[in-house]
Structure 1
Amino acid sequence: MSSLRAKIQDVFNEPACEQNRGKDAKARKEGCSKPLTPGAAAGGCAFDGAKIVLQPITDVAHLIHAPLACEGNSWDNRGAASSGPTLWRTSFTTDLTELEVVMGQGERKLFKAIREIQKAYGPPAIFVYPTCVTALIGDDIEAVCKRAAEKFGLPVVPVNAPGFVGSKNLGNKLAGEALLEHVIGTVEPDDAGPYDINILGEFNLSGEFWLVKPLFDRLGIRVRACIPGDARYFDIACAHRARAAMMVCSTALINLACKMEQRWDIPFFEGSFYGITDTSEALRQISQLLVKKGADPEILGRTEALIAEEEAIVWKKLAAYRPKLEGKRVLLNTGGVKSWSVAHALMEIGIEIVGTSVKKSTVGDKERIKQILKDDNHMFEQMTPRELYAMLSEHRADIMLSGGRTQFIALKAKTPWLDINQERQHPYAGYDGMVELVRQIDLAIYNPIWRQVREPAPWDCQPAVREELPRTKSEAVTLHAVQELAGTTADDFGEC
């Protein structure tokens, strides 16, 4: 437990953060994260965060050492995609019972589970995750993993991030520490070259990275490791031989990028593949870093030619949408890199950003938002469901882009909504992804269902009754009875 405390303290010391660099030694170790309120969910626990970062490594077996509920709550919580292995989609857990906890049988059952996975699936590695229960009862995960690795001849990696140690973001960073300590640098590739790069913090949600990788292929740049999206264990083990790196989500893995630069001299920058300008700038910066590390400068010219060609194509495709979407107002209720990168991407085609959430954004993310929007009044740290509903029902936004948890607020306000978070079904990265994002916004805003649901309900609006006297006494009695049953009179009926 003392080693875990030291590791937690270390991940908060983030020298790669410009704002953190200017603090004194004590304040620097506190990092940029706010302290948690006891009992608050804080967007997920540390175990959840570690699982999010590591589960997209597709050929690895992920074993949860805990009661069954821990794995049930964390499985399949990201829409990451794989181009090959599907082992990561299989759920493994030791399924501890109360009796095994009381009798101290956890370590023995964990060793047995590792042996069964090795025999049945033969994975290149097994990642073992303790949770609150197994950490509190004192199971020595690291010792069991070390013994199993020696016995079965494969890497067994302890991911020491039980839920009670902190927030989901802390779990992200502890997962990066596990890769640094047990995986990266353990294999020496025989094909290292001057055009090898790493992409860090890219999760390949809905296959997004597959829209970007062909651009690197055309430039002759090899993605040595994409961590974690569509990754393979061997690729990550060889990641220390890359020449440069791009950080996509600094909130999750800034510590990994920083320490890889310190240990193996791999320079990195933070960029985004959302939007035309940001995608082009990311390609430029990668090429420039490679040239500084010894690559042929001719790659800079090829990069500019590729950018010019792709931008011409994408702007031509977007021309059809601009007249319909220019001036439309979007509310972004997301966080992290999307809080500024998606905002910038939408503003490029004339869409107005009326607000963007910065709840999960770093200080650097917030500075970018200020530069893009030219006004920090459009930034909100946290907006309650009541405030979101009021904003949408008052028609201050034409559409909301957010995660699934707030979609029902938009639907209640009869406002178009589009999923922008990890559960989304469409890829939005790169040049083609930008076209897809704009297409989905257009489909959502101009869906004819919104005109129908905004009309008054039939029971709030009844057709007018012709004002004519009943022709017979029986007709008069019948009309009076119907009006009494409905609680209305003839004067109450009118046009909608």
Structure 2
Amino acid sequence: MSLLRAEIQDVFNEPACEKNGGKDAKARKKGCSKPLTPGAAAGGCAFDGAKIVLQPITDVAHLVHAPLACEGNSWDNRGAASSGSTLWRTSFTTDLTELDVVMGQGERKLFEAIREIKEAYGPPAIFVYPTCVTALIGDDIEAVCKRAAEKFGLPVVPVNAPGFVGSKNLGNKLAGEALLEHVIGTVEPDDAGPCDINILGEFNLSGEFWLVKPLLDRLGIRVRACIPGDARYFDIACAHRARAAMMVCSTALINLARKMEQRWDIPFFEGSFYGITDTSEALRQISQLLVKKGADPEILGRTEALIAEEEAIAWKKLAAYQPRLEGKRVLLNTGGVKSWSVVHALMEIGIEIVGTSVKKSTVEDKERIKQILKDDNHILEQVAPRELYAMLSENKADIMLSGGRTQFVALKAKTPWLDINQERQHPYAGYDGMVELVRQIDLAIHNPIWRQVREPAPWDCQRAVREELPRMKSEIATLHVVQEFAGTTADDFGER
């Protein structure tokens, strides 16, 4: 436990974070993660964050050492996609019971579970995740994993991120520490080249990295390791021989990028593959970093030629949507890198941003948003569902882009909604991904269903008619009287 505490303190003290670097020494060690409220950790604990980062490593068996309820259902975790093995989608757990805890059988049960996985599946590695229960009862995960690795002849990696130590974001970083300590640098590749790169913090959601990788292949740039999206254990073990790295989500793995630069001299930058301009800039920066590390400068010319060709194709496809979406208003309720990258992408085609949430964004993310929007009024720190509903029901936005948690707010307000978080079904990265994003927005906004759901229900129309009928009869009677006396004179009124 003391080892885990020291590891957490080291993660909190993150020099690569500008906000953390501006604090005094005492405050810097506390980091930015807030302590969890007891009983409120479900879906946002450190264990959840660590498993989110590591589970998309496709050929590894992920074993949760805990009672059954801690594992839940890992199928389709975050919508990450694999081009090969599907072993990562299989749930493995030691399924500890009360009797196991009381009798101290946790470590023995873990060892036997590792044996069973080795014999039944033969994976290249097994990742072991302790949770709150097994950490509190004091099971020595490190010792069991070391003994199992020696006994069975395969890497058994302990991922020390029990849920009670902190938030999901802290779990992301602890997962990066596990890779640094036990995986990266353990295998020497025999094919290292001058144009090898790592992509960090890319989860290949809905297979969207597959829209970007062909661009890199055309430039002769090899992705040594994409961590964690569609990754293989061997690729990550060889990741220390890359020449440069791109950080896609700094909130999750900034510590991994920084320490790989310190240990193996792998420079990195933070970029985005969302939007035409950001995709082009990311390709430029990758090429420039590789040239600085010794690659042939000719790659810079090939990069510019590729960018010109792909941008022309993308803008030609987008031209059909611009008249239909020009001036449309979008409310963006997400966070992290999407809080600025998607904003920039949408503004490129003339869509107006009425607000973007920055709840999960870093200081650098917020600064980028300010530079893009030129207005702090559209930056939303925290937006309660009630406030979201008010904005949408008052017709302040034509569509909301968010995750699945807030989709029902939009549906209740009878407003088009599009999922852009981890559950999304369509890839939005790269040039083709940008065209797909715009197409989906166009389909959502112009779907005729919204006109129909906004009309009064038939029973409401009937009720309104019944309520208005007495008033209508009164007006009709008054009209008849007026018509009867129309054209009469004062003498006529006197006679009557």
CA deviation after TM superposition for structure 1 residue 40, in Å:
4.2
Report SS of the residue matched to 2:13.
Answer: coil
Alpha carbons of structure 1 residues 494 and 312: separation in structure 2 relative to 1, 3 Å: farther
Taking only the aligned residue pairs, the percentage that are identical comes to 93
Q: Is the 8 A contact 2:35 2:167 kept in 1?
A: no
Q: Is the 8 A contact 1:462 1:493 kept in 2?
A: no
Deviations along 1:305-354, one digit per CA (max 9) or x if unpaired, are 00000000000000000000010000011000001100110000000111
Report SS of the residue matched to 2:212.
Answer: helix
Q: Is the 8 A contact 1:127 1:157 kept in 2?
A: yes
Report SS of the residue matched to 1:16.
Answer: coil
Report SS of the residue matched to 2:3.
Answer: helix
Alpha carbons of structure 1 residues 286 and 487: separation in structure 2 relative to 1, 3 Å: farther
CA deviation after TM superposition for structure 1 residue 360, in Å:
0.6
CA deviation after TM superposition for structure 1 residue 202, in Å:
0.0
Q: Which moved more, 1:470-479 or 1:217-226?
A: 470-479
CA distance in 1: counterparts of 2:435 and 2:425, whole angstroms:
15
Residue equivalent to 1:488: 488
CA deviation after TM superposition for structure 1 residue 276, in Å:
0.4
Alpha carbons of structure 1 residues 317 and 97: separation in structure 2 relative to 1, 3 Å: same
Q: Is the 8 A contact 2:331 2:401 kept in 1?
A: yes
TM-score w.r.t. length of structure 2: 0.92
CA distance in 1: counterparts of 2:495 and 2:91, whole angstroms:
59
Report SS of the residue matched to 1:129.
Answer: strand
CA deviation after TM superposition for structure 1 residue 20, in Å:
2.8
Q: Is the 8 A contact 1:331 1:397 kept in 2?
A: yes
CA distance in 1: counterparts of 2:493 and 2:347, whole angstroms:
48
Alpha carbons of structure 1 residues 96 and 473: separation in structure 2 relative to 1, 3 Å: closer
CA deviation after TM superposition for structure 1 residue 382, in Å:
1.2
Residue equivalent to 1:170: 170
CA distance in 1: counterparts of 2:213 and 2:487, whole angstroms:
67
CA deviation after TM superposition for structure 1 residue 391, in Å:
0.5
Q: Is the 8 A contact 2:245 2:268 kept in 1?
A: yes
Q: Which moved more, 1:352-361 or 1:454-463?
A: 454-463
CA deviation after TM superposition for structure 1 residue 33, in Å:
3.5
CA distance in 1: counterparts of 2:429 and 2:160, whole angstroms:
32
Q: Is the 8 A contact 2:79 2:423 kept in 1?
A: yes
Q: Is the 8 A contact 1:465 1:490 kept in 2?
A: no
Alpha carbons of structure 1 residues 450 and 186: separation in structure 2 relative to 1, 3 Å: same
CA distance in 1: counterparts of 2:139 and 2:343, whole angstroms:
46
Q: Is the 8 A contact 1:244 1:289 kept in 2?
A: yes
Alpha carbons of structure 1 residues 109 and 455: separation in structure 2 relative to 1, 3 Å: same
CA deviation after TM superposition for structure 1 residue 23, in Å:
3.0
Report SS of the residue matched to 1:4.
Answer: helix
Alpha carbons of structure 1 residues 131 and 75: separation in structure 2 relative to 1, 3 Å: farther
Alpha carbons of structure 1 residues 352 and 148: separation in structure 2 relative to 1, 3 Å: same
CA distance in 1: counterparts of 2:373 and 2:235, whole angstroms:
39
CA deviation after TM superposition for structure 1 residue 14, in Å:
1.3
Alpha carbons of structure 1 residues 484 and 424: separation in structure 2 relative to 1, 3 Å: farther
Alpha carbons of structure 1 residues 143 and 475: separation in structure 2 relative to 1, 3 Å: same
CA deviation after TM superposition for structure 1 residue 477, in Å:
22
Q: Is the 8 A contact 2:411 2:417 kept in 1?
A: yes
Q: Which moved more, 1:92-101 or 1:374-383?
A: 374-383
For the pair shown, the structure with the greater C-alpha radius of gyration is 2
CA distance in 2: counterparts of 1:75 and 1:92, whole angstroms:
11
Q: Is the 8 A contact 1:13 1:30 kept in 2?
A: yes
Deviations along 1:195-217, one digit per CA (max 9) or x if unpaired, are 00000000000001000000000
Q: Is the 8 A contact 2:77 2:89 kept in 1?
A: no
Alpha carbons of structure 1 residues 386 and 465: separation in structure 2 relative to 1, 3 Å: closer
Deviations along 1:171-209, one digit per CA (max 9) or x if unpaired, are 000000000000000000000000000000000000010
CA deviation after TM superposition for structure 1 residue 484, in Å:
32
Deviations along 1:427-461, one digit per CA (max 9) or x if unpaired, are 00000000000000000000000000000110111
Q: Which structure 1 segments of 5+ residues have no match?
A: none
Report SS of the residue matched to 2:465.
Answer: coil
Alpha carbons of structure 1 residues 165 and 489: separation in structure 2 relative to 1, 3 Å: farther
CA distance in 2: counterparts of 1:130 and 1:494, whole angstroms:
102
Residue equivalent to 1:394: 394
CA distance in 2: counterparts of 1:74 and 1:53, whole angstroms:
13
Alpha carbons of structure 1 residues 469 and 445: separation in structure 2 relative to 1, 3 Å: closer
Q: Is the 8 A contact 2:34 2:166 kept in 1?
A: no
Residue equivalent to 1:361: 361
Alpha carbons of structure 1 residues 104 and 43: separation in structure 2 relative to 1, 3 Å: closer
Q: Which moved more, 1:67-76 or 1:101-110?
A: 67-76
Q: Is the 8 A contact 2:33 2:166 kept in 1?
A: no
CA distance in 1: counterparts of 2:481 and 2:92, whole angstroms:
68
Q: Is the 8 A contact 2:314 2:431 kept in 1?
A: yes
Deviations along 1:25-73, one digit per CA (max 9) or x if unpaired, are 2232233444555554486000000000000000000000001111115
CA distance in 2: counterparts of 1:114 and 1:491, whole angstroms:
111
Alpha carbons of structure 1 residues 480 and 361: separation in structure 2 relative to 1, 3 Å: farther
Report SS of the residue matched to 2:331.
Answer: strand
CA distance in 2: counterparts of 1:490 and 1:126, whole angstroms:
105
Q: Is the 8 A contact 1:32 1:363 kept in 2?
A: no
CA distance in 2: counterparts of 1:426 and 1:189, whole angstroms:
34
CA distance in 1: counterparts of 2:405 and 2:391, whole angstroms:
17
Query: What's the Cα RMSD here?
Result: 6.8
Q: Which moved more, 1:12-21 or 1:206-215?
A: 12-21
Q: Which moved more, 1:64-73 or 1:150-159?
A: 64-73
CA deviation after TM superposition for structure 1 residue 379, in Å:
1.1
CA deviation after TM superposition for structure 1 residue 468, in Å:
17
Q: Which moved more, 1:68-77 or 1:251-260?
A: 68-77
Aligned length: 496
Residue equivalent to 2:184: 184
Alpha carbons of structure 1 residues 266 and 481: separation in structure 2 relative to 1, 3 Å: farther
Alpha carbons of structure 1 residues 375 and 479: separation in structure 2 relative to 1, 3 Å: closer
Q: Which moved more, 1:370-379 or 1:458-467?
A: 458-467
Q: Is the 8 A contact 1:464 1:495 kept in 2?
A: no
Alpha carbons of structure 1 residues 338 and 43: separation in structure 2 relative to 1, 3 Å: farther
CA deviation after TM superposition for structure 1 residue 24, in Å:
2.8
Deviations along 1:349-371, one digit per CA (max 9) or x if unpaired, are 00011111111111111111111
Q: Is the 8 A contact 2:61 2:87 kept in 1?
A: yes
CA distance in 2: counterparts of 1:297 and 1:194, whole angstroms:
11
Q: Is the 8 A contact 1:246 1:286 kept in 2?
A: yes
CA deviation after TM superposition for structure 1 residue 225, in Å:
0.1
Deviations along 1:276-303, one digit per CA (max 9) or x if unpaired, are 0000000000000000000011100100
CA distance in 1: counterparts of 2:188 and 2:302, whole angstroms:
30
Deviations along 1:385-442, one digit per CA (max 9) or x if unpaired, are 1111111000000000001111001000000000010000000000000000000000
Q: Which moved more, 1:36-45 or 1:318-327?
A: 36-45
CA distance in 1: counterparts of 2:267 and 2:96, whole angstroms:
44
Report SS of the residue matched to 1:471.
Answer: helix
Alpha carbons of structure 1 residues 484 and 318: separation in structure 2 relative to 1, 3 Å: farther
CA deviation after TM superposition for structure 1 residue 22, in Å:
3.2
CA deviation after TM superposition for structure 1 residue 375, in Å:
1.1
CA distance in 2: counterparts of 1:78 and 1:236, whole angstroms:
20
Residue equivalent to 1:72: 72
Report SS of the residue matched to 1:400.
Answer: strand
Residue equivalent to 2:422: 422
Q: Which structure 2 segments of 5+ residues have no match?
A: none
CA deviation after TM superposition for structure 1 residue 469, in Å:
15
